[in-house]
Amino acid sequence: MNAFTIKLLEGVTCRVNGLNKFSLQLHSVWSEILLATVDIDHRQQFTESCYSNSSEYYVSAKHMKLFDWEMEVIDEYFPKAPARILIGGCGRGREVLNFLKMGYEVICFDPCTEFITDMQLHIKDKHILASLKCTYEDLIDDDSIVEQFAPFDAFLFGWGSFAHIMDNNQRDEILRVAKRICPNGPIVLSWPRVAGFEVGPKTKALRSILEFIGLDNHKSDDSYHRDSGFVKTLNNEIVSEMAKRTGYTAHFPKIENSYPFAVMT
Residue 127 to residues 66, 95, 182, Cα–Cα distance (Å): 19, 14, 21
For the stretch 160-189, pLDDT in tens is 899 888 788 999 999 999 999 999 999 999
Sequence spans of domains, the chain:
1-265
The single-letter DSSP state of residue 56 is: G
Q: What's at 192, amino acid-wise?
A: P
Right CATH for 1-265 from 3.40.50.150, 3.40.50.720, 3.40.30.10, 3.40.50.11720: 3.40.50.150
Q: Which helix (H) or strand (E) holds 105?
A: strand 105-110
3-state secondary structure of 108: strand
Residues 143-147, mean pLDDT to the nearest whole number: 91
pLDDT score recorded for residue 23: 62
**Best-predicted range by mean pLDDT (24-38, 144-158, 197-211, 224-238):** 144-158
* Range with lowest mean pLDDT among 36-45, 87-96, 143-152: 36-45
